[in-house]
Structure 1
Amino acid sequence: MTDPRTLKYQPLPGTQGLPTPPVERFEALLVRRGTDYRPRTRHLLPDGSARYTNRLFLESSPYLLQHAHNPVNWFPWGKEALDLAKELNRPLLVSIGYATCHWCHVMEEESFEDEEIAEYLNANFIPVKIDREERPDLDAVYMSALQAMTGQGGWPLNMWLTPEGKPFYGGTYFPPKGGGHGTGFLEVLRILRSAYDRDPERVAQSSEQLTQAVRRMLAPAEAGEVPQREAMERAIHIYRERMDTVNGGVTGAPKFPSSLPVRLLFREYRRTEDPDLLRACYLTLRNMARGGIYDQVAGGFHRYATDSHWRIPHFEKMLYDNALLAVTYLEGFQLTGDREFARVAREVLSYLRRDMAAPGGAFYSATDADSLNPEGEREEGYFFTWTPQELTEVLGKTRGDLVAAVFGVTEGGNFEGRTILHRSRDLPAVAAELRRTEEEASRILDESRELLYQARARRPQPITDRKIIASWNGLAISAFAKGGFILDDGAAVEQAAKTASFILEEMLRDGRLAHSYQEGSPKGEGFLDDYAFFIAGLIDLFEATGEPAWLERVQELTAVVAGDFEDDELGGFFSTGPRHEELIAREKPSYDGAIPSGNSVMAMNLLRLHLLTELPEYGDRAQRVFSAFSSTLAANPTALSEMLLALDFHLDLPRQILIVAPEGDRKSAGWLLGRLRGEFLPNRVLAVVTEGEQLNRAAELVPALQGKTAQGDQAMAYLCENRTCLLPTSDPELFEDALKKRR
């Protein structure tokens, strides 16, 4: 391959007469990226360089860079593309996806690298590529348009817009040339361009109707009364009807971990002690951890299972999934005492530290489902699958037989002739069959997993999306802070603090968060999710460490959320603030899917802050969030399953747990904390501080700490509820008894 710095902007089919981007910016970026530059295209010149290069090479998003050498003349979203569409009176094709999206890759290879399609597209449309993880606001608007049209959505998301940015048609994946798989992409392009030219009034009418539908879908509903327990009861009733009582989760396939909100069921079980709820949760967590959706070699969960048994995953791994599931398994461990759940939580956190960590302390976004097979072809899942022969080559015959028996590795396999590892048999049964002790078999299994990890690391790796997203890192901070506290793992708490410090130092400018961090620089204004998830992480970090600085930052950032995102009229929070681009609609997030909505997380943040600080403004804002979404919670409570966690907190009598240790001797609180770590107490706040400066600073933020002291060389625990505190104690058993009692 020639020196990549010799690359110039290349003409693209169908772009005659169109403006070209500044060549000097290409040259500057090539010098900076150096040998890391790799064209991802089948259109290579004899010297190995790319035949085509478009404007996306100037971007930092991994997803946009994947399309930088398509013959399609892609523009990033922005004024240049919109102005050119108006000047030429051309519709825009806006194609939205993300770097680890399998079907986005397929459509790129089939359609966006096809020169015939590219030439027609370039000559008749203004093509725009958007990374949905960079611009969730645009994704929300145009996904709502597609859902208004078709009742469903997905990625890649392809929307056709008027030059004013109003949608008039859309879809997801299109095959390139039609045939037996639906109308081909090239035919769709020709039909839409013909309609745009032949009947502009109808296109304008359609775009206006769709725009109004989007505004209605994203607009806030009228505020109502704060919901009561009935909203939770309706949601639980719906989930009961959907439960898969054999495999766990929701009946049918595909199976997403978020489809059955286990943490909500945990809270309802705590209130009702209904064994069916606990059984459903246990079955779900157990089977997920033993299925192929869980990476049995490295730890960490894939995005979802395509079958009903959690066995065949879609192989993407997302930071947000793993952070959220780590917390779920931690709560499962607290509630059931099952050490397998604690093991899974530890392994997920270990996976994130080992495979997803970015320099400086933050975490990357995701890894791809696809990787290269031995023939050099991109194949979904090859990296994660095994054959009996491969096990023997890595482990030897004796070890390989044990691993194959435990993880169900067979000659025929369960996926494209290979096997996705899953716990097909229990270890004690395999150990007995192979005439080994259970302890010996467990040791062999652990050693073998590490050997398989090392062998797998020598395969071509799936692509890592190296964006650092503030919101997803906020979820990771919560996972590590909670994991460090519950599992008594100081290194996990240190990781949470390291990640939080990175965001504060590298992604906070003039008191406001950036949305992402790429190529050494913060990018874009923070959205509601960024603030909400990061604030939640900082509250968890305060509870794990007792350091007042984290709570001070929480109050500063919460003030920004109130000033920039709050709906002063109806309550709740918009996704965007005054520094964001004004789009055809402004979203007020009202759906908890794979990722909770910013409103649900902010409701919980405000309730926790109110209990910690006793400032009424936080409680008032939380009430206004519930009021703003009362109609949704009444009509469709499962749409806001995460907000129901906050509602449960609000309707309960949440506790303040305060532990004061002697100055310089936090370890003296260890006996008390040991009893607290194993208790499932979701509706509480915690402050563990040492006397002296830390207590004095913390008491300014948490009034309940005022006047609280240790007793000589012993830490003292104070348990308060509804503005009343029990007698303090240093006795772990008395403390545990008090924790277990419910008024």
Structure 2
Amino acid sequence: MARESFEDEVVAAFLNEHFVAVKVDREERPDVDAVYMDAVVAATGQGGWPMTVFLTPEGEPFYFGTYFPPAPRPGMPGFRQVLEGVAAAWRDRREEVGEAAAKIVRDLLGRQFEYGGANPPGEADLHTALMVLTRGYDAVHAGFGDAPKFPPSMVLEFLLRHHARTGSEAALQMARDTCEAMARGGIYDQLGGGFARYAVDRTWTVPHFEKMLYDNALLIRVYAHLWRATGSDLARRIALETADFLVRELRTEQGGFASALDADSDTPDGGHAEGAYYVWTPAQLREVLGEDDALAAQRWFGVTEEGTFEAGASVLRLADGELTDATRIDDIRARLLAARERRPLPGRDDKVVTAWNGLAIAALAETGAYFERPDLVQAALDAADLLVRVHLDAHGRLVRTSRDGVPGTGAGVLEDYADLAEGFLTLAGVTGEGTWVEFAGLLLDTVLRHFSAEDGTLYDTADDAEELIRRPQDPTDNATPSGCSAAAGALLSYAAYTGSDRHRRAAEGALGVAGALAARAPRFIGWGLAVAEAALDGPRETAVVGPAEDPATTALHRAALLAPAPGAVVAVGAPGSEEFALLRERGLLDGRPAAYVCRGFVCDAPTDRPDEVVAKLR
């Protein structure tokens, strides 16, 4: 619509004469987007973007749509027609329009979702959720549902945690097969690493080529956790390649992470096309690799003369089975990547979104610790430092975004506080720096003070945020964990680090919606179910006490980090350290570094053996 209508001089002139045009970046203002998307769905039965909403001067919506073409099509008016009709209605039937808008607002307020006071999911609820997911599982191509297929990141996290806690082989199988199908499919960038936003088909072959920070941050953790559970070499490779993609292509000069890479880019003929940067023809392979290697690349990556995409081009996929000549394929991938980097690059959205950077911090910190990559941990620390300096004020309030180190004007929403707290708490466990727990506590105190109602209900905006026609509140997970689910997870981890009963109770209250939706819509509450797994398991807490320079301390710390207990937290520090509440009054074991495995600060006997730490956390 931007190209077809907003940039058309005749349409723009009419629009500017009769309306006040407001273009909303839904990443910058998710609250505005959520409120009016609810109105569009309620009025038309479906939503989507671009979203077109006509409002009264008071912000009350009265006419809706998504995409309007520049000229009429069968069953769809042109945008100029819509503008003329709405302008005429506002001019000639303003009272009628006002009544319609007021009724829509009343209906929206009546649809406010209430979940305060509901019980968090119990054992039976989580088992039911697993059964419902099994029925919706695609046993042929993996994943859930039909086309388009989105990476089910949060559901995969639930499945891995459920397996870790119960030993369910069905849960592990669905997670493992889905991860492998995505990793071998076109949705994964076989040359540069990283995942596209979704696949347009059931087979994961052709993606929508846009790469989002949040998808990749969530999937890094999923693959790292799959490796932790199974030792899969494929999972290890995908986790590290995707982490390297994040740092290489999305990291900003200030140390944060940009929001996205565009799906389209310039083409050699002067055009602009989706996927142009990523797809290959056999002739292009031959030009870069020569005849023999090009034939091998065609077999390995599924490049055909007919093509799997458009104009005879193919999206690269990885052949099933193990590739025996790893050295040769690595060389071919490197040469193709170098050639691809000479193509016009996709555009980059340089907004640094607080919530998505919180997810990236958690992913890079864990992956760096698991695979002994201190550079990834440092990247997480750099991003955390930027967010503390630029996004967070002295009163514990966040801005939603920044760009080039300059904070934006939009206030942080619930997911910003919760996801950033999650990132800080993960950093604390990896680095042994208790300051990150304190920063998380500052954020979570703001959540409890400004985002929580008396009955425990969490809202997506603060009580002192800009007033909209209703206060946004969507407790279901979508492309990212909902603010509610993310807050439940961060509150639970913070309670495990500090022993705070207040934060534990708040976490359980926030999990009420997961209990309500476990049987009805588990695909849309995956993060909430994953947090519920942690709550049922404890979560377990491990205190590692010993000098930082002692290899025995490092071995115990690593054993605790690698144990798959759902949502487990780890504190490490020298004897007498006050960095973590978990470490207080915990001493060495006969002068040797020791680990204490606890639940609710009630601990087993200490051990100085990493294998015993793993056994206690299994």
Name the TM-score class by shorter chain.
over 0.9
Task: Name the residue aligned to 1:653.
Answer: 538
Aligned residue for 1:517, secondary structure, equals: strand
The reply on whether 1:671 has 2:555 as its aligned counterpart is: yes
- Report what 1:24 is aligned to: none
Cα distance in 2, alignment partners of residues 631 and 442 from structure 1:
48
Question: Which residue identity does 1:263 align to in structure 2?
Answer: E
Identify the match of residue 363 of structure 1 among 245, 257, 263: 257
2:577 maps to which residue? 696
Pair 1:388–1:685, CA change in 2 (3 A): same
- Match of 1:420, as an amino acid? V
Match of 1:551 in 2: 437
The alignment status of 1:583 with 2:468, answered yes or no, reads yes
Of residues 578, 603, 620 in structure 1, which corresponds to 2:488?
A: 603
1:532-571 map, 5 Å = 532-567=418-453, 569-571=454-456
Q: What SS does structure 2 have at the residue aligned with 1:595? A: coil
Within the candidate set 114, 131, 151, 2:8 is matched to 114
Structure 2 counterpart of 1:205 = 99
- Larger-gyration structure (1/2): 1
Which residue of structure 2 lines up, in the alignment, with residue 183 of structure 1? 77
Separation (CA, whole Å) in 1 of partners of 2:124 and 2:388: 40
Identical-residue share of aligned pairs (%): 37
SS of the equivalent of 1:126 reads coil
* Residue 616 in structure 1 maps to residue 501 in structure 2: yes
Secondary structure of 2:256's aligned partner: coil
CA distance in 2, matches of 1:710, 1:305: 53
Q: CA–CA distance in 2 between the matches of 1:375 and 1:175?
A: 26
Whether 2:116 is the aligned partner of 1:238: answer: no
Distance across 1 between alignment mates of 2:110 and 2:219: 33
Q: Is the 8 A contact 1:592 1:639 kept in 2?
A: yes
- In structure 2, relative to structure 1, the CA distance for the partners of 1:261 and 1:555 (3 Å cut) is same
1:575 and 1:251 map into 2 onto residues whose CA distance is 28
Question: 1:47 is matched with which residue?
Answer: none
Deviation at 1:533, TM superposition (A): 0.5
* Residue 173 (structure 1) aligns with: 67
The CA RMSD over aligned residues, in Å, is: 2.1
CA gap of 1:624–1:426, structure 2 versus 1, over 3 A, is closer
Counterpart CA distance in 2 for 1:733 and 1:666 is: 17
Q: Residue 5 of structure 2 contacts residue 70 of structure 2 at CA under 8 Å; is this kept in 1?
A: yes
**1:357: how far off?**
0.6
Cα displacement (A) at 1:710 = 5.6
- Deviation larger for 109-118 or 209-218: 209-218
Distance across 1 between alignment mates of 2:161 and 2:588: 32
**CA distance in 2 between partners of 1:651 and 1:198 (Å):** 61
The answer on whether the counterparts of 1:234 and 1:637 sit within 8 Å (CA) in structure 2 is no
Where in structure 1 are there 5+ consecutive unaligned residues? 1-106, 429-437
> CA shift at 1:424, angstroms?
3.0
Matches of 1:711 and 1:375 in 2, distance apart? 73
Q: How far has the Cα of 1:685 moved from its partner?
A: 1.3
Counterpart in 1 of 2:372? 488
Runs of 4+ in 1 over 4 A off after TM superposition: 627-638
Alignment partner of 2:22: what SS? Answer: strand
State the partner residue of 1:131: 25
1:725 to 603, 608, 612: 603
> TM-score when scaled to structure 2?
0.95
**Paired residue for 2:570?**
686
Q: Is the 8 A contact 2:185 2:203 kept in 1?
A: yes
**More moved, 714-723 vs 476-485:** 714-723
Match of 1:433 in 2: none
Query: Would the alpha carbon gap of residues 655 and 677 (structure 1) be closer, same or farther in structure 2, given more than 3 Å must change?
Result: closer
**Contact 1:224–1:630, Cα closer than 8 Å, also in 2:** yes
Secondary structure at 1:514 match in 2: coil
Q: Which residue among 399, 412, 418 is the counterpart of 1:526? A: 412
Helix, strand or coil at the partner of 1:594: coil
Specify every segment of 5 or more residues in structure 2 that has no aligned partner in the other structure, as ranges.
none
Letter in structure 2 aligned against 1:661: G
Letter paired with 1:330: A
Quick one: distance in 1 between partners of 2:120 and 2:166? 22
Deviation at 1:697, TM superposition (A): 2.2
Q: Which range moved further: 325-334 or 625-634? A: 625-634
- Alignment partner of 1:161 out of 52, 55, 63: 55
Output the amino acid matched with 1:709: L
Amino acid at match of 1:733: D
Query: 1:325 deviation in Å?
Result: 0.6
Asked whether the 8 Å contact 1:110–1:175 carries over to 2, the reply is yes
1-structure distance, mates of 2:562, 2:120: 33
Conserved? CA contact 1:658–1:705, under 8 Å: no
Distance 1:410 1:711, change over 3 A: farther
Offset from partner CA, 1:151-193 (integer Å, 9 cap, x none)? 2211111111111111112111111101347222122222222
Map residues 247-286 of structure 1 onto 2, 5 A cutoff: 247-258=141-152, 261-286=155-180
Could you tell me whether the CA contact under 8 Å between 1:219 and 1:586 is conserved in 2?
A: no
Deviations 1:527-575 (A, max 9, x none): 11111110000000000011111112112222222222221x2213222
Alignment of 1:438-517 (within 5 A): 438=324, 441-511=325-395, 512-517=397-402
- The residue type equivalent to 1:334 in the other structure is R
- Tell me how far 1:730 sits from its aligned partner: 1.6
Paired residue type of 1:244: D
Compared CA separation, residues 533 and 260, structure 1 to 2 (3 A): closer
The SS at the match of 1:153 is coil
> Following TM superposition, by how much is the alpha carbon of 1:244 offset from its aligned partner in structure 2, in angstroms?
0.1
What SS does the corresponding residue of 1:363 show, helix, strand or coil? coil
Kindly provide the CA deviation profile for residues 575-601 of structure 1, in whole angstroms up to 9, marking residues without a partner as x: 222442111111123110111111111
One-letter code aligned to 2:615: D
Contact 1:571 1:628 in 2 (8 A): no
Q: TM-score, normalised on structure 1?
A: 0.79
Counterpart-to-counterpart distance in 1, 2:183 and 2:10: 47
How far residue 628 of structure 1 moved from its aligned partner, in angstroms, is 6.7
Distance in 1 between the 2:9 and 2:404 partners?
31
Which residue pairs with 1:381 in the alignment? 275
Equivalent residues, number: 615
Q: 1:709 to 1:527 in 2, by over 3 A?
A: same
Q: 1:232 to 1:342 in 2, by over 3 A?
A: same
Q: How does 1:54-133 map to 2 (within 5 A)?
A: 107-133=1-27
Question: Which shows bigger deviation, 321-330 or 150-159?
Answer: 150-159
Instruction: Measure, in 2, the Cα distance between the counterparts of 1:621 and 1:666.
Output: 38
Q: Relative contact order: is structure 1 or structure 2 higher (C-alpha 8 Å, sep ≥ 6)? A: 2
Change (3 A) 1:600 1:345: same
Contact 1:221 1:629 in 2 (8 A): no
1:218–1:589: 8 Å Cα contact kept in structure 2?
A: no
Is the CA contact (8 Å cut-off) linking 1:253 and 1:307 kept in structure 2? Answer: yes
Q: Any residues of structure 2 matched to 1:34-73 within 5 Å, and which?
A: none
